[in-house]
């Protein structure tokens, strides 16, 4: 089931979206496969800690995050992945590893890779390993107040 926080936010905005349910998946690629979604549209959510605090990097499931490139674009001298303990503290209502793409619901800025931003639709975890949200990318960018930055590299 989608997290209450995300479900309420989407209901409040009135933006159209589709909620799908699939078998348990623990990676973005696996989620794309089980949800029958192209990997280029499925957002991989990567939480990081940089000089100024936490951030969420969203990139296509068929790519890898280039942390150095992300740090360079954001002007950060240090950047590392968040630990499991940090993720539990940051996202108390979410299954570990299933962080939703709307970092703004947790006061965390969102950075969207330009490859994913070019897709007409985006899909992302709804806070569980079995729920996915699909929506128009332009709506997502607006609602998440996402900054578009190139930081993904092909697998």
pLDDT for 22-36, tens place per residue? 999 999 999 999 999
- Asked whether the predicted pLDDT for residue 155 surpasses 80, the reply is no
Positive or negative torsion for Cα 129, 131, 137, 138: negative
Residue 18, CA distances (Å) to 15, 61, 80, 85 in order: 10, 19, 33, 31
The CATH H-level superfamily of 4-154 is: YbaK/aminoacyl-tRNA synthetase-associated domain (3.90.960.10)
Positive or negative torsion for Cα 40, 45, 51, 54: positive
Average pLDDT over residues 99-120: 96
Domain spans, the chain: 4-154
> Residue 44's pLDDT band (boundaries 50, 70, 90)?
very high
pTM: 0.95
The string of pLDDT tens digits covering residues 71-84 is 999 999 999 999 99
- Asked whether the predicted pLDDT for residue 100 surpasses 90, the reply is no
- Asked whether the predicted pLDDT for residue 62 surpasses 80, the reply is yes
Average pLDDT over residues 128-145: 97
């Amino acid at each position: 089931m989608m997290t209450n926080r995300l479900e309420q936010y989407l209901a409040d905005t009135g933006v159209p979206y589709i909620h799908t349910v699939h078998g348990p998946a623990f990676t973005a690629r696996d989620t794309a496969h089980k949800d029958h979604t192209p990997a280029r549209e499925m957002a991989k959510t990567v939480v990081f800690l940089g000089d100024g605090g936490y951030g969420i990097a969203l990139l296509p499931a068929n790519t890898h995050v280039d942390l150095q490139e992300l740090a360079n674009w954001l002007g950060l001298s240090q950047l590392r992945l968040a630990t499991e303990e940090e993720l539990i503290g940051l996202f108390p209502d979410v299954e570990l590893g299933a962080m939703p793409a709307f970092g703004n619901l947790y006061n965390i800025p969102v950075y969207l890779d330009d490859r994913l931003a070019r897709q007409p639709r985006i899909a992302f975890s709804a806070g569980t390993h079995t729920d996915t949200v699909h929506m128009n990318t332009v709506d997502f960018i607006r609602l998440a107040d996402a900054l578009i930055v190139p930081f993904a590299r092909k697998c």
